[in-house]
Amino acid sequence: MQINWDDMRTILALVRGGSLATAALDLGVTYTTVARRVQRVEDMLGRPLFERRPEGYRATEEARDLAAAATRMEAEEHQVMRQLAGRDQSLAGPLVLTAPQLLIQYHLAPLIANFSRLYPDIELTVRATNEVLDLARREADLALRISASPGDSLVGHRLCGQRNACFATEANAAAAARDPDARLNWVIYSGYDRPPDHALASYPNYRVRGRFDDMTAMVAAARAGMGAVRMPLFLARSHPDLVPLAGISPQDYAPIWVLSHRDLMQSNKTRLLKDEIRAYFRKHHSQFTELPDPSPRVGGVT
């Protein structure tokens, strides 16, 4: 009796995800394929591996044992594939970069386009997300992360520090400066109870007009006059219609890192893209730490 690797991976994905749909998404197959593979293993073993419940699939002890074995096999597979990729000195084939959407939109898109022109045989995939992808599982080869502690299991380089500040439309900022005790409207991140404490020290009377789960949406609301917003300085540079609130100093924010797995340190593709990113941030680091020039700006990054 032998269980093939696809079926082992399927058991692992279902134990991790708890539903056919989640496992199917993880594996890149249909949910019927997941169900068929699980049934095949259960028929082979002569007993169920999961309790089918309305809320999902609950793993039995046997399923958890198989998942643990599959986890070890998966780790070995990923390690071998990383080591092979690390030995690849060619400038062709797949390369996956992950970075937050806003960094790509406001800074990295021209760099990525230029890199693709210079190395047309590299099949570059960009995963624009704030999620922390698993580099050990090769969900990405190179990652840009905004974090105070990116972890010690990866090879990392701190690209630059960051600062943020509080901004509003010129009309709202001027009204707040004239009367700091008047009520100031804000738009803030979902999950936060109120504006930042250092802002309330200058403008104690506040009202939260809206909570958003996306920075782009928050900036759009602030530009529409809905209220003040706290945002990174690099983002403020592309929105000259928003000005800093008087009396509130910029605050330190999590720095930006570029990270890769140590097995990929010798990969030419990974090294070249990392070098391009490091050079870019050396040149533009002030845009992440200094307030925009108060002189008139015309769109784009100054």
154, 159, 164, 167: CA torsion to nearest 10: -120
Q: Tell me the per-residue pLDDT of 228-269, one tens digit each, with 9 for 90 and over.
A: 999 999 999 999 999 999 999 999 999 999 998 888 777 889
| pLDDT on residue 50 | 92
Q: Is the pTM of this model over 0.85?
A: no
Residues 57-95 have pLDDT tens digits of: 999 999 999 999 888 887 777 777 666 666 677 889 999
The phi, psi pair for 101, rounded to 5°, reads -55, -45
Under 8 Å between Cβ of 63 and 50: yes
pLDDT in tens, 182-194: 999 999 999 899 9
- Supply angle C-alpha 115, 151, 236, rounded to 5: 55
HSE, CB side, 13 Å, CA atoms: give it for residue 159: 28
Structure tokens at 58: 């609950």
**Structural domains of the chain ordered from first start:** 5-87 (1.10.10.10), 93-160+254-285 (3.40.190.10), 162-253 (3.40.190.10)
Report which secondary-structure segment, H or E, holds 216: helix 215-223
